[in-house]
A = this chain, B = another copy of it.
Amino acid sequence: MPSLRAHVFRVPAGSPDDVTGVEALFAGLVDASDVVAVLGKTEGNGCVNDFTRGYATRSFERLFDEQDVEGVSIVMSGGTEGALSPHWTIFTRKQVEEPGEGALAIGVARTPALPPEQLGRREQVRMVAAAVKAAIRDAGIEDAADVHFVQIKCPLLTSERIADAESAGKTTATRDTLKSMALSRGASALGVAVALGEVDIDAIDDTDICSRFDLYSRCASASSGVELLDHEVIVLGMSAKWSGPLTIDHAVMRDAIDTGSVRAAWDRLPAEGRLAAVLAKAEPDPSGHVGGRRHTMLNDSDLAGTRHARAFVGGVLAGVFGMTDLYVSGGAEHQGPPGGGPVAIIVEKGDLK
């Protein structure tokens, strides 16, 4: 019986619109029509006015247009602080004749457009939960325990969108555009938690979103961006229906310097494996402390806390893994415990087939 097979490629990006490395892949090893998802780290500020995400997204849309390929999930996360390196991670899937043996599985889904007044509220949680379930089915994963990373790209509020809602007599969850990014990530993460059975939807109030941080998903990763109005969902896990050299596991960092959990997860993966990708979330610890010592990320009005956190946790993980083209995304509300976050590790045994 045939199976599905995933491959993962990390491609350097010279600028937000530099897709030449991916074009080279398409001219060689990779069939563009096999691409199911692109996760990018772009060199913007990762906050409200980060247009590098949209610029990169547009560049990939044009590339896939030229290749006559539709329906690829494109998720751009802004912010390559410190020595983090801008890059694209390309996920492909195709059917092969070999039988399933248990390997990395990938599924995707997309939600309808989110009305601005639903952002950061239970409606958003529900909408995302439904899409996560669809993506898990799309991946052929049968047990929620086999899901190791759920990437959500979610919208944010701009002052224009807030004004639109208000002129229609609606109120938005916040008028602060930067805060809307946090609320959107938080509600999306809770949507993952609901889909995976980690949290009961009936246990969540609107006011819990971005405040009751004891509610969280162990493997949600959400990025908000100005360039979309709906949600892109990408699920990564293990499935018996998939074959090939790739395996995934994940750690949940308890705080920003918890390298022990990360090393333990890496140790659970094949020892001889080559690192194919590391995907992680980072945030300023909402307690104001890491390891008992005060940090200043939440009091710095010159530099957003998410930028601080990406730079620092990027350093922690680069020190562990010895590479800088890591997908480290900022703002980990309800994504792992407060101040911590999920770290997915994909390892490839042997050579590319």
Measuring CB to CB, which residues of chain A are less than 8 angstroms from any residue of chain B?
12, 14-17, 43-45, 47-52, 54-55, 58, 80-87, 158-160, 163, 175-179, 211, 226, 256-257, 259, 284-288, 290-291, 293-304, 307-309, 311-320, 322-325
Which residues of B sit under 8 angstroms from A308, Cβ to Cβ? 81-83, 311
Which residues of B sit under 8 angstroms from A179, Cβ to Cβ? 176, 179
Q: Tell me if B176 and A303 are in contact (CB < 8 A).
A: no
- Classify the interface of chain A: helix, strand, loop or mixed: loop
Given contacts A15-B51, A177-B299, contact A87 B293 (CB under 8 A): yes
Given contacts A257-B322, A293-B87, A301-B45, contact A312 B51 (CB under 8 A): no
Cβ distance A305 to chain B, nearest Cβ, rounded Å: 10
Which residues of B sit under 8 angstroms from A312, Cβ to Cβ? 81-84, 311-312, 314-315, 318
13 contacts between A and B (CB under 8 A): A15-B226, A16-B55, A17-B55, A44-B51, A50-B301, A54-B55, A58-B58, A81-B312, A82-B313, A86-B294, A177-B299, A177-B301, A315-B319
Cβ distance A320 to chain B, nearest Cβ, rounded Å: 6
A299 to B294, CA, bound (A): 28
Which residues of B sit under 8 angstroms from A85, Cβ to Cβ? 290, 293-296
Q: Tell me if B17 and A296 are in contact (CB < 8 A).
A: no
Which residues of B sit under 8 angstroms from A176, Cβ to Cβ? 176, 179
Which residues of B sit under 8 angstroms from A285, Cβ to Cβ? 83
Cβ distance A14 to chain B, nearest Cβ, rounded Å: 7
Of the candidates B293, B317, B319, which one forms a contact with A12 in the assembled complex, judged by CB atoms under 8 Å apart? B293
Of the candidates B211, B302, B311, B322, which one forms a contact with A82 in the assembled complex, judged by CB atoms under 8 Å apart? B311
